[in-house]
Amino acid sequence: MNSIAVESLAIETPGSDTRIVEGLSFAIPQGGSLGLVGESGTGKTLTALSLCGLLPEPLRLVCGGMSVNGKELEWDNRLSWRDVRGRGIFMIFQSASLALDPTMRIGAQIAETLHETKGLKRKTARTRTTRLLEKVGLGPETERCLPFQLSGGMRQRVQIAIAMALEPSVLIADEPTTGLDPLIQIQILGLLDNLRRSFGISLLIISHDLRVIARMADSVCVMHKGRMVESGTVEEVFRTPRSPYTKLLIESVLKQEGIG
Amino acid sequence: MKGGWASISARHLLFALAFLILVLAGPLLAPNDPFEMNLDNRIQSPSLRFPMGTDSLGRCVLSRTLYGGAVSMGLALAATLSSAALGMGLGLCSSAAGAITRAVAMWVIEVMLAFPFLILAVVIAGLLGPSGVNTWLGLTAAGFAWWARFSSSLFIKAGESDFVKAARAMGIPALRLTGRYLLPQVMPHAAVALLLQMAAMVTAVSGLSYLGFGAQPPTPEWGTMLKDGQIYMIDYPWLMIGPGLAITVCVAAFTAVGEALRRRFALKPLNRW
Amino acid sequence: MTAPFLEASGISKRYIRPSGEIVALDAIDISLGRGESIGIAGPSGAGKSTLARILCGMESPTEGSISLEGRDIQRDKSLRRRIQMIWQDPAASLNPYMTVAQLISEPMEVFNTAGRDRLKERLDELSAMVGIPKRLLSMRPHELSGGQCARTAAARALAADPIALVCDESFSSLDIPSQAELMEVLEGLRDSLNLSLVIISHDLFPIMRMCSRVAVIRNGKMEETGKTCEVISAPRSPWTRELVSSLLTWPFSPQRKAGHHLSGS
């Protein structure tokens, strides 16, 4: 069964004919992972936000059909998103400042999530929190910290810990390692991989870095100017790219590594 | 920042147009001489010759209202511009000054802001003596503190943007930095604040005149006219309708255009002066 | 290696905070020849950006000195212009209210590096050098792509007539095609103008591609330094080893495919 299936997703601005994103269709099987790759400004992040029903005004989502866990979703109904967000689809952001409450201590934030969604008692929630933080490689002293006291990599870990607490069907990771040094990057990617393998969470990973996609995803969608130019398994697309744009992207990776 | 002019609707423009006609074309539209007294025609009801009637000295209320716009608005404009210029100059200096100087300057400003704007203006204008020029001085002195605080925080924020830091590191001289890097960032905010403060200043000018501090008779001025008409209000309401309506339209026009501009630039609401 | 002409010796930077003294940099030595490029790698918070600001003369070190062609840049302020910086986010470092032409011309006007009458000529020269087509000159930064902004930032830095460029994480905010674009531009400039480059990056790829030597900094201290190929292939410090081993490489590269072919046959 597919964790999420989307049919011809589009994002439009009212009063304008051009759509920011158009004709994006994909499905992720349970425990699978899909990479969304493209240059910056191509609409990747907006796509991710639209999948959480969080598009900023006045943008609008138009969709041929969307299902989460096999259940059809009324994507044009605001209320139906409320049931999906969090447990169904959860998103971790590139800049954790969007996702974490800047005035709340880390421990309290995670415990709150556990209390609200799992109905755990406050005390059990706190012990679970410690265990979750441990799983993402953070010590118990992190619980007392406020988000701004943590480094970028640590904040990503906290977001992943919240994702573990929620156990969503689909986790969207928007540029989760951009701006982190390679050492931290590989650790964060390892955590995300672990999330997929041990919790069976499907992963939609968004990145401009083809290497991250190649490392993390089973299949890939290549986006250019809001349109899907190519899709298939990572092996297919990256080894034998058909679209000239994909070829261009791969070429730039090789150039950047000093090979091309 | 592209597009979005649609958010300024025809309604706002209509308002703006109404006030412009009122002020610029006012003297041309006036049917009578606003100074010409005629004691035989005292307090007449509206007629063809005097569309809004006459006041206690037999002068045409409509003509006086139309002429009064130039005085009220002129004073308000002068006070807004001078307080903005003075305040923004100080704001710029304090944003460039060291932390201690800035703290002291802002402390003084905060003390000034502790007094309500209109009361401060009344006190200053009152001490200087009633006249148009003193009204202007009073309003400027009462208004600049708000601008200093407002613009100082804007200049500080503008100075923190990456491209200003980069330019500073490159060694771009201070004058150029201010003109081409800082001011363009502050201008949208200042433009909105100018329009919104204009609305407040129109009320303040009329208010001061109403209290007897502003323009002196026989100069036609909305606030003075309101005061003159007040005693006859119950029996001859047209004496107050003209100037009252003019003030209302003016304030509404400036506020509407200012607010529309604020939304256009997606700025936060301003706190009151 | 050419004789060092940009030399930083014994650079330390300490900050006094209420909580105590913070050591941002501790006795860092770096030397760089004309037309050479050196990479400075390390995790975030290692003191790389502090080093960049000190090299550009924007901050003075607590101890140590920086000399350019044998002259101390702390003493001779006029030298500062000769070391220009390309910032972390090239797009954000450009004044959004100015056109590309104005941005590139500004340093020439301010420092009088071109002379009044040669301004236009020099503008064309510089934009051709970094590959900015004429039609972009009248545009403003928000109309440009990331790569075009990076090119503009490079041209603007060049307009001040520098002999060394410091790139402080200039690549990390760019997507990969724009990174490749900026690398090509910088390499071209280094070779044609004999510019020296200091590439500061937490990512190793820009350094691996552009720099003959690398210095790895960690916690403000020099962890390891040497030829890039040697440090990457045989790191001496355990921490560098870990850094190199965590590098994500492109698994579908032609060489690897060829190698795979060989082993298969």
CA atoms within 13 A on the CB side of B154: 28
What's the rounded Cα separation, in Å, for the pair A218 and A34?
6
Count of CA atoms in the C-beta half-sphere (13 A) of B260: 19
Residue B60 per-residue DSSP state: B
What ipTM goes with this model? 0.83
What residues in A contact C204, CB-CB < 8 Å?
182
pLDDT tens digits, one per residue of A171-210: 999 999 888 888 899 999 999 999 999 889 999 999 999 9
Mean pLDDT along residues A46-51: 92
Contact at CB, A256 and C180, closer than 8 angstroms = yes
Nearest-angstrom CA–CA distance, A156 and B94: 39
> A62 to chain C, minimum CA–CA distance in Å?
27
Query: Between chains, do A252 and C179 touch, taking CB under 8 Å as contact?
Result: yes
How many Cβ contacts (< 8 angstroms) between chains A and C? Answer: 101
Contact C250 A257 (CB under 8 A): yes
Asked if A152's CB is within 8 angstroms of C250's CB, the reply is no
Q: Pairing state of beta strands C164-168 and C196-201?
A: parallel
The H-assigned helical ranges of B160-214 are 162-170, 174-177, 183-210
d(CA C35, CA C2): 9
What tens digit of pLDDT does each residue of B46-85 get? 887 888 888 888 888 888 888 888 888 889 999 999 999 9
| Percent of chain A scoring above 70 in pLDDT | 98
Kindly determine whether residue C243 and residue A183, on different chains, have CB atoms separated by under 8 Å: yes
The 3-class secondary structure across chain A, one letter per residue, is CEEEEEEEEEEECCCCCCEEEEEEEEEEECCCEEEEECCCCCCHHHHHHHHCCCCCCCCEEECCEEEECCEECCCCCHHHHHHHECCCEEEECCCHHHCCCCCCCHHHHHHHHHHHHHCCCHHHHHHHHHHHHHHCCCCHHHHHCCHHHCCHHHHHHHHHHHHHHHCCCEEEEECCCCCCCHHHHHHHHHHHHHHHHHHCCEEEEEECCHHHHHHHCCEEEEEECCEEEEEEEHHHHHHCCCCHHHHHHHHHHHHHCCCC
CA–CA min distance A79, chain C (Å):
36
Nearest CA distance, C163 vs chain B (angstrom)? 14
Q: Give the residue from chain A lying closest to C240, CA to CA.
A: A183
Chain C CB contacts of A258 under 8 Å are 205, 208-210
Bridge partners, C201 (sequence order): C41
Q: Report CB contact under 8 Å: C95, B181.
A: yes
Output the pLDDT for position A70: 85
In a structure prediction context, what are the per-residue pLDDT tens digits for chain B, which is 273 residues long? 334 455 556 666 776 777 777 677 777 777 888 888 877 777 777 887 888 888 888 888 888 888 888 888 889 999 999 999 999 999 999 888 888 888 898 899 989 888 888 888 889 888 988 888 899 999 999 999 999 999 999 999 999 999 999 998 888 898 999 999 999 999 989 999 998 899 899 999 999 988 888 778 788 888 888 888 888 888 888 888 888 888 888 888 888 888 888 887 777 777 655
The pTM score is: 0.81
How close does chain A come to C206, measured CA to CA in Å?
Answer: 7
Nearest of A11, A21, A25 to residue A66 by alpha carbon:
A25
CB contact under 8 A, C146 and A40: yes
Partners of A232 in beta bridges: A220
Note whether C248 contacts A212, CB cutoff 8 Å: yes
SS3 A204: strand
Asked if A35 and A213 count as a contact pair (C-beta separation under 8 A), the reply is yes
The Cα C90–Cα C141 span in angstroms is 10
How many pairs of residues across B and C have Cβ atoms under 8 Å apart?
A: 41
How many alpha carbons fall within 13 Å on the CB side of residue C206?
36
Which candidate from B162, B170, B180 shows the least CB-CB separation from C160?
B170
Q: Among C11, A167, A51, C107, which Cα is nearest to B167's?
A: C107
Q: Which backbone phi and psi does C138 adopt, to 5 degrees? A: -90, 5
What are A21-40's pLDDT values in tens digits? 999 999 999 999 999 999 88
According to DSSP H, which parts of A85-121 are helical? 106-118
Q: Given an 8 Å threshold on Cβ–Cβ distance, is A39 in contact with C255?
A: no
pLDDT of A244 over the 50 cut:
yes
d(CA B109, CA B148): 8
Interface of C with A in 22-81 (CB under 8 A): 42-45
Distance from CA of C187 to the nearest CA of B (A): 22
Q: Going residue by residue through chain C, which has 265 residues, state the pLDDT in tens, using 9 for 90 and above.
A: 456 789 999 999 998 888 888 889 999 999 999 999 999 999 888 889 899 999 988 888 999 989 888 888 888 888 888 999 999 888 999 999 999 999 999 999 998 888 778 899 999 999 999 999 999 999 999 999 888 999 999 999 999 999 999 999 999 888 888 899 899 999 999 999 999 999 999 989 999 999 999 999 999 999 999 999 999 999 999 999 999 998 888 888 765 444 333 333 2
Please provide residue C164's backbone torsions phi and psi, each rounded to the nearest 5 degrees: -145, 145
Nearest residue of B to residue C96 by CA position?
B163
Residue from B193, B239, B182 nearest B54 by CA: B239
Q: How far apart are CA B257 and CA B8, in angstroms?
A: 8
Residues of B in Cβ contact (< 8 Å) with C96: 163
In chain C, residues with a C-beta closer than 8 Å to the C-beta of B3 are none
Residue C83 Cα, gap to closest chain A Cα (Å): 25
pLDDT > 90? residue A130: yes
In the prediction, which pLDDT does C258 show? Answer: 40
DSSP A53: T
Q: How far apart are CA B150 and CA B152, in angstroms?
A: 6
Give the nearest partner residue to C177 out of A39, A180, A214, using CB atoms: A39
How crowded is residue A77: how many other Cβ atoms within 10 Å of its Cβ? Answer: 10
Per-residue pLDDT, B231:
85
Q: Which chain B residue has its CA at the smallest distance from C91's CA?
A: B163
Interface of B with C (CB under 8 A): 161-163, 165-167, 169-173, 176, 180-181, 184-185
Structure tokens belonging to residue B241: 């309708």
CA dist B150 and B247 (Å) reads 26
Question: Residue A17 corresponds to which tokens in the numbers above?
Answer: 């004919």
> Could you give the count of Cα atoms lying within 13 Å of C43 in the half-sphere of its Cβ?
18
Q: Give the type of residue at B26.
A: G
Of C146, C209, C247, the CB nearest to A256: C209
pLDDT of residue A131: 93
Which residues in chain C have Cβ-Cβ distances shorter than 8 Å to A254?
A: 250, 253-254
Contact A184 C172 (CB under 8 A): no
Angle between the N-to-C axes of helices B10-24 and B61-96, in degrees from 0 to 180, rounded to the nearest 10: 110
Check if the beta carbon of residue C162 is closer than 8 Å to that of residue C108: no
Average pLDDT rounded to a whole number, residues A9-24: 88
